[in-house]
Amino acid sequence: MNKRILFVCALLMVASAPSFAVEKDWFESLKNRGDAETLYRVLHAMPKGGDLHNHLSGAVYSEWWYEIALSQADRGYEYFTKVKIENCRDYGENAFSIAPYFLLFRNIVEAEYHSLNACEKSEYKALRDLDSREKAAWLNSIRLDKPFEGRDEFFQTHWQRLNALVRNPWIQAETLYKNMQAFGEEGLTYLELQVSVGGYQKPDGSPLSSDFVANVLRERLKQPDAIATGVTVRFQIAILRFVPFAEAALRFDYKFVHDNPDLWVAINMVGREDNDKGYPGRFLPTLRELRRQYDGVKLSIHAGEVDEPNAHVRDTLLLGADRIGHGINLITDDELMRQMRHGPYMVEINLISNLLLNYITDYSQHPFPEYLRTGIPVALSTDDRGMWDSTMTDEFFVAVTEFDLSWEEVKLLSRNSLSYSFTEQGQKQALLDKYNKAIQKFENRMAKAVQKSAQTGEIKGLQAMPATRGFVCKQYKLCF
Ligand SMILES: [Zn+2]
């Protein structure tokens, strides 16, 4: 290298060194302020990529359920909910029944209400007629917000309470829109939602076909307000893994995904893994049979969402899954941990879900940082944030606060949430390009603003603190 070039290089280094150092460290400076509120505001405003693990009927805040359920009167759906128990039956279907008798705030349609005897009718009240105390209790009945509530409350009562509400495709369509809007406002551009296309009913209780339901969802996505959210949606169909008819459901849904590639991309398997009837290996013969007939159906499957070590993650990869939901106990499988490093499979991390369902008792037990920092692909997701009363910003806030994430790690999580999505390649690239542009702009703006704030304390151009939800208020005292 000649002297002249050396001199120019030295000059360039001197000129760029100070601002480079500050810009690179802006996120560290931000964290070092120890100001949770400002960190939250930055994470809220930050472009975030997608949410790949999200159950549509679990993603709905209680007040949305209430408001949307009432709006369905126009379509002939009137809802009733159980507000008291008068011991009308001398036998009780136990808590594990599909229709447990001893369960308050179970929602039914008017046709079912009229089929009840006078005693049971007296236990129900029209949803629109609830007084303020009953309404507050109804809203709380589908939130996991008490210290004594956990896995059993979630798995054994929330879904059983929703009941009729999730059998109305127009409710699903409206909750879909509300989610697109809310996630869009948090800076997300992609949602891969788990939603069923079976079991839907007309107001009189007669069935609606899967194709009909799919069209209701499809049409909702075409409405201008949905398009205006800027959020791209794809669907997975979730199958309850431990029921006796799970193989039949898998056959039907697999074909459905194959036949509806415009929006449907994958099959998922859900339901508590501590019910051994849904063990992964059960589905290997059926999936092999289906792969002889159909192409193009991806699998993302819940696995390793358990307290004890087992081979569920390993066996689920053998099923053909490209993504693992939760993967908490992957950390107990040394050999698989080695194989997953820098590997093609991603683990969908649900930090808030895992805490509230007691798979960990505090974040020091969570394997997420070990996966992230040994090169196992991971992304953050919300699972059933309506029931946790939380947001995607909260997931990032928990991750950054509990594990001191670097800015590069934050961006990697968002990029993974797009690059491991199941949408078609062209769409995926467009989303990644959009994210890369948006995050570059955001970090440039934040780097300058944080640097300037060293004098004033105020980060200019940052939105005001958004309204926060129950989880982050209770756990981190961020109540706005
Ligand atoms: Zn899940």
CA of 55 to the centre of ligand 1 (A): 6
1 alpha carbon – ligand 1 mean position (Å): 58
Tens-digit pLDDT string for the chain (480 aa): 455 554 444 444 444 444 445 556 899 999 999 999 999 999 999 999 999 999 999 999 999 999 999 999 999 999 999 999 999 987 666 666 778 888 999 999 999 999 999 999 999 999 999 999 999 999 999 999 888 888 888 888 888 999 999 999 999 999 999 999 999 999 999 999 999 999 999 999 999 999 999 999 999 999 999 999 999 999 999 999 999 999 999 999 999 999 999 999 999 999 989 889 999 999 999 999 999 999 999 999 999 999 999 999 999 999 999 999 999 999 999 999 999 999 899 999 999 999 999 999 999 999 999 999 999 999 999 999 999 999 999 999 999 999 999 999 999 999 999 999 999 999 999 999 999 999 999 999 999 999 888 888 889 999 999 999 999 999 999 999
Q: How far is the CA of 384 from the centre of ligand 1 (A)?
A: 7
Distance 157 CA to ligand 1 centre (A): 16
Give the distance (Å) from ligand 1 centre to CA of residue 156. Answer: 15
Within 10 angstroms of residue 230's Cβ, the number of other Cβ atoms is 16
Phi, psi at residue 99, to the nearest 5°?
-125, 70
* 311 touches 276 (CB < 8 A): no
- Provide the pLDDT for residue 454: 81
Q: How far is the CA of 348 from the centre of ligand 1 (A)?
A: 9
Distance in Å, CA 326 to ligand 1 centroid = 8
Strand order in the sheet with 188-194: 49-55, 188-194, 232-240, 264-270, 298-303, 323-326, 346-349, 378-380
User: From the CA of 357, how far away is ligand 1's center (Å)?
Assistant: 11
The rounded Å distance from CA 127 to ligand 1 centre is 28
- Which pTM value belongs to this model? 0.93
Distance in Å, CA 337 to ligand 1 centroid: 21
State in Å: Cα 186 to ligand 1 middle. 20
Cα-to-centroid distance, 232 and ligand 1 (Å):
20
- What spacing in Å lies between the alpha carbon of 471 and ligand 1's midpoint? 18
Tell me the three-class secondary structure of the chain, residue by residue.
CCHHHHHHHHHHHHHHHHHHHHHHCHHHHHHHCCCHHHHHHHHHHCCCEEEEEEEHHHCCCHHHHHHHHHHHHHHCCCEEEECCCCCCCCCCCCCCCCCCCCCCCCEEEHHHHHHCCHHHHCCEEEHHHCCHHHHHHHHHCCCCCCCCCCHHHHHHHHHHHHHHHHHCHHHHHHHHHHHHHHHHHCCEEEEEEECCCCCCECCCCCECCHHHHHHHHHHHHCCHHHHCCCCEEEEEEEEECCCCCHHHHHHHHHHHHHHCCCCEEEEEEECCCCCHHHCHHHHHHHHHHHHCCCCCCEEEEEECCCCCCCCHHHHHHHCCCCEEEECHHHHHCHHHHHHHCCCCCEEEECHHHHHHCCCCCCHHHCCHHHHHHCCCCEEECCECHHHHCCCHHHHHHHHHHHHCCCHHHHHHHHHHHHHCCCCCHHHHHHHHHHHHHHHHHHHHHHHHHHHHHHHHCCCCCCCCCCCCCHHHHHHHCCCC
Which pairs count as long-range contacts for 154-162, CB under 8 Å and 24+ apart, including other chains? 154/356, 154/357, 154/384, 154/387, 155/271, 155/272, 156/95, 156/96, 157/103, 158/58, 158/387, 159/57, 160/98, 160/99, 160/100, 160/103, 160/106, 161/103, 161/105, 161/106, 161/107, 162/57, 162/65, 162/107
CA–centroid distance, residue 301 to ligand 1 (Å) = 9
How far apart are the CA of 53 and the centre of ligand 1, in A? 6
Question: Ligand 1: distance of its center to the CA of 383 in Å?
Answer: 5
Q: How far is the CA of 129 from the centre of ligand 1 (A)?
A: 33
52: phi then psi, degrees, rounded to nearest 5: -95, -5
Quote the ligand 1 centre to 266 CA distance (angstroms).
Answer: 14
What is the 313 CA–ligand 1 centroid distance (Å)? 14
CA of 433 to the centre of ligand 1 (A): 28
Ligand 1 centroid to 238 CA: how many Å?
A: 9
Quote the ligand 1 centre to 110 CA distance (angstroms): 31
In residues, how long is the chain?
480
Which residues are close to ligand 1, an ion, with C-beta < 5 A?
Answer: 383
Distance 52 CA to ligand 1 centre (A): 10
Task: Return the CATH fold of 44-61+168-433.
Answer: TIM Barrel (3.20.20)
Beta bridge partners of 267: 237, 299
Positions of CATH 3.20.20.140 in the chain: 44-61+168-433
- 114-149 burial, b if ≥16 CB within 10 A, otherwise e? eeeeeebeebbbebeebeeebbeebbbbbbbbeeeb
Ligand 1 mean position, distance from CA 407 (Å): 27
Q: How many A from CA of 58 to the centre of ligand 1? A: 9
Distance 270 CA to ligand 1 centre (A): 7
Give the distance (Å) from ligand 1 centre to CA of residue 194: 9
Ligand 1 centroid distance, CA of 372 (Å): 20
